[in-house]
Structure 1
């Protein structure tokens, strides 16, 4: 492999940067897209949510029938409904896929509150033959809010599925463009720095030609997982296309972005990828960095990052090149 080049276009990288201490600007990307969550896992989350939604609706129907029976003093006409199985909510793929979504915690709390409220209403119906109006209204409001929250999570999960690259589980290009637009707007409002890093696997065509496309896919998935696991919690990694990845680095100036990209370059270069028959494969990445600015379009920023990437390739690959605005 070619040695790393630390040359930039007017940027002198810092030594041993403390980039982990940079404050997070906020989470605008679904939690699933901060890691590699494949479409199969998202589909499982959708199945979980639909099952919980159906069970919740059925349970509320049973509670209503039971309250009417109690108010009519018709004790022999049926049995009390089984308590809602809250463990359905506290396990499953939806928790992994939707981690960080405030609705997840809100629905979990609401289910506990609703179960207790339904039990209190049943006690009131048995002891006084009446349902306290205020308590009954709160119970209904809670049930409606939970149902609406579940439907919103289902809609968001469908949107998430459309934002995932099916091979790597990273965000795809439409998701990337949405995130970059958010960061561009943030830069305009707060003058917060943000950089874009474009990474390309070196000699990837040779991997496909020598080992086949199945191994090539394995390499892409492995590098995608490594990148997603190695960035800061609020950075975002996307599959740009082919063997190219793109990093969105909020709250990072050019020096910090260089340090992050160089750290990733070293990790990829030292990464062993298991392939068929116990063999291992190594690869490397070339990286081009450009600052995101509200003064220029996202497309212009991508063009500058691509030009920096081309320069990295020209310098022998396996290096990082920074292009100033």
Structure 2
């Protein structure tokens, strides 16, 4: 399945982060294929310029950037896909400019004219620019995939502390509050024991989907442990974080999770809420949210406790 059919229905407001792990893998594969096509095109261009082989007529066209294999693929991408990342528009411009330069070089070669060094250098500058965009967007996609939990799609703990420190610094500069919420499913071991780990996986996937549906674009969700998740709410006071947690708690309790053979199960979660204080150590703030969550469990589960 090609990338344009995979991503055309995504919420472009969230950019590439709106893609699932499977979609990210497919987009990466498509871009790597595009890079391979372009390398092959460049080798053929060098044969024409150096070994005096006949030029491809398409490369002498004013529309060459739309006729190469990469151009044909790129032009099939819908606007929704191109809006997933600003580098897509940069790639379009760099690709067209590079082909224009290639046409000039090939035209000079066809007329047996000498190729000025400055034109050759400019062509390679444009080529390098295109490659840089390719590599940058591919690296970003791979980094996003690397920091994703493969089961649920929530961010894993790889860069958790670093990300929260950046958010903390931003809040301090703007004199804003930032809240953390630790969420732990109640009696999750019983789900695995009674219905199997496949059912447990479905519960975790449904849980993350529910949490994400409540988040703002700039909120962050991490899979902190097996059935434990951490939410970061920037620009949020304690009371707002508590209200958010209560809404989410009710949303999770209302989930009807299908586990096969017309069987459904219901789950609840315990919530611990804490603020990241101005002079806080991030790990200390996480610990306060974690301890608050344990207090919620001790108090009867399926409830919110504020540190």
The TM-score normalised by the length of structure 2 is: 0.80
Q: Does 1:86 align with 2:86?
A: no
Question: Structure 1: how far apart are the matches of 2:15 and 2:186?
Answer: 29
Question: Structure 2: how far apart are the matches of 1:227 and 1:302?
Answer: 18
CA change 1:255–1:117 in 2 (3 A) is farther
Deviation at 1:179, TM superposition (A): 1.4
Contact map agreement 2:185 2:228 (CA 8 A) in 1: yes
Q: Does 1:295 align with 2:279?
A: yes
CA change 1:288–1:91 in 2 (3 A) is farther
Which of 21, 46, 58 aligns to 1:64? It is 46
CA change 1:206–1:99 in 2 (3 A) is farther
**Consecutive unaligned residues in structure 2, runs of 5 or more:** 1-13, 60-66
Contact map agreement 1:90 1:108 (CA 8 A) in 2: no
Where does residue 119 of structure 1 map in the other structure? 103
Question: Structure 1: how far apart are the matches of 2:19 and 2:190?
Answer: 25
Where does residue 143 of structure 2 map in the other structure? 159
Contact map agreement 1:231 1:260 (CA 8 A) in 2: no
Deviation at 1:252, TM superposition (A): 1.4
CA change 1:178–1:101 in 2 (3 A) is farther
CA change 1:174–1:294 in 2 (3 A) is farther
Q: Does 1:194 align with 2:178?
A: yes
| 1:283-315, Cα deviation, whole Å (9 max, x unpaired) | 222211111134121111011101221222233
CA change 1:87–1:319 in 2 (3 A) is farther
Where does residue 3 of structure 2 map in the other structure? none
Question: 1:185-224 to 2 correspondence within 5 Å?
Answer: 185-224=169-208
CA change 1:123–1:171 in 2 (3 A) is same
Contact map agreement 2:49 2:106 (CA 8 A) in 1: yes
Q: Which has the higher contact order (CA 8 A, sep 6+)?
A: 1
**Consecutive unaligned residues in structure 1, runs of 5 or more:** 1-29
Q: Does 1:50 align with 2:54?
A: no
Contact map agreement 1:121 1:136 (CA 8 A) in 2: yes
The TM-score normalised by the length of structure 1 is: 0.76
Question: 1:187-266 to 2 correspondence within 5 Å?
Answer: 187-266=171-250
Deviation at 1:237, TM superposition (A): 0.9
Q: Does 1:316 align with 2:303?
A: no
